[in-house]
């Protein structure tokens, strides 16, 4: 999964061991759920190659991302605004699709499966915030998510992010975002 993360995000190589540690630590968070998409197995009994993965957990105070975003939302819209989005949230910590597998609905399937049946009121996540709309941002908007913070700098440096949120269960994709069914989906 770290390899898919590296291919999708192109981080500096020296950050990858730390990313592995963070991912392993996340598995202990409350109500953790993960989904993995594999390429079909070429040989029965052998694992397929991971093409994408997503995971998340119930957000709560004391978790680094939760606390940083909560405080930023308080500054942006006040305590009630922050509480609405964060007090009963499912936090999508990672959702990545290998570049060779992007554009085929795999990310949408991972997100939908990950959020299906969750009991939290909201879903929140962060995604790269660039000068132009990204496929990831379009995906999140298509299921009803909105920008909560834009051009956000997390402590410690790095690129700017958008923090997005939506109500659970996720909305059906809006018509302008729906892809026609194809054999490649």
The answer to whether 55 is a known catalytic residue is no
Could you tell me the two tokens for 114?
């990950």
Q: Among the options 55, 70, 140, 161, which is catalytic?
A: 140
Cβ atoms of 121 and 140 within 8 Å: the answer is no
- Whether a cis peptide bond, with omega within 30° of 0, leads into 169 is yes
Residue with tokens 């020296």: 14
Give, for 107, the enclosing helix (H) or strand (E).
Answer: helix 106-115
Residue with tokens 């499912």: 90
Cβ atoms of 54 and 8 within 8 Å: the answer is no
Phi and psi torsions of 176, nearest 5° = -70, -15
Could you tell me the two tokens for 23?
């991912």
Cross-strand pairs, 53: 36, 96
Give, for 84, the enclosing helix (H) or strand (E).
Answer: helix 79-86
User: Active-site residues: which are they?
Assistant: 140
């Amino acid at each position: 999964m770290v390899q898919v993360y590296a291919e999708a995000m192109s981080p500096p190589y020296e950050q990858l061991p730390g990313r592995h540690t963070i991912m392993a630590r996340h598995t202990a968070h409350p109500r953790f759920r993960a989904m993995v998409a594999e390429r079909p197995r070429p040989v029965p009994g052998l694992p397929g190659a991971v093409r994408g993965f997503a995971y998340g957990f119930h957000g709560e105070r004391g978790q680094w991302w939760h606390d940083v975003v909560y405080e930023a939302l308080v500054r942006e819209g006040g305590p009630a605004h922050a509480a609405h989005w964060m007090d009963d949230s499912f936090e999508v910590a990672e959702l990545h699709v290998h570049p060779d597998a992007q554009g085929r609905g795999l990310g949408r399937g991972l997100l939908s499966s990950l959020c299906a049946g969750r009991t939290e009121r909201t879903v929140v996540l962060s995604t790269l915030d660039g000068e132009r709309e990204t496929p990831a941002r379009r995906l999140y908007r298509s299921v009803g998510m909105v920008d909560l913070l834009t051009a956000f700098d997390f402590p410690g440096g790095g690129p700017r992010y958008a923090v997005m949120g939506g109500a659970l269960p996720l909305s059906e994709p809006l018509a302008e975002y729906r892809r026609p069914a194809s054999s490649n989906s």
